[in-house]
Amino acid sequence: MQSLKPCIGLTYYRLTEIDANNQKTIQGVISVMRSKAQQNSLAISQVSTDANQQNLTLYLQKPNANTLANIQILSTQGQIVQTGQTHHAVWQTDIAHLPSGLYLLIAEVNGEVVTKKIVINR
């Protein structure tokens, strides 16, 4: 379950790891304090891949649901290896062509930019 519209204040999340064999392991509980100022900010809520790491799903929190998000995936050399755009809070893309390694995911909405490191390990 993704918290696409997290509450303001203190929220608790149970972290569960799911491996390639669909085995679930509870990793613990974390607490997140969210201020009202963060409510209107661009944020990457979650980045996940399927079990074979062929598809990537990005969950965005945008200040306005109708705004266009520009998305890029960069290699560690700074080369753009994937691009996309979405008006939605969820963006999916095929990453089967990308070799194993470290990448930088960049999302931009109205000049506000957020980044997230992603690891592809096949």
The tally of domains found in the chain comes to 1
Per-residue pLDDT of the chain in tens (122 residues, 90 and over written 9)? 555 556 667 777 788 888 888 888 887 887 777 665 555 578 888 898 888 889 999 988 887 777 899 999 999 999 999 999 999 889 999 999 999 999 999 999 888 888 999 999 87
Asked whether residue 18 is domain-assigned, the answer is no
Q: Which domain holds residue 66?
A: 40-120
User: How many residues does this entry show for the chain?
Assistant: 122
pLDDT the model gives residue 7: 65
User: Structure pTM?
Assistant: 0.65
Sheet containing 90-94: give its strands across.
43-49, 55-61, 90-94
Asked whether residue 114 is domain-assigned, the answer is yes
Q: In this structure, what CATH number is given to the domain that contains residue 100?
A: 2.60.40.3080
Euclidean distance between CA atoms 50 and 27, whole angstroms: 19
Asked whether residue 35 is domain-assigned, the answer is no
Asked whether residue 31 is domain-assigned, the answer is no
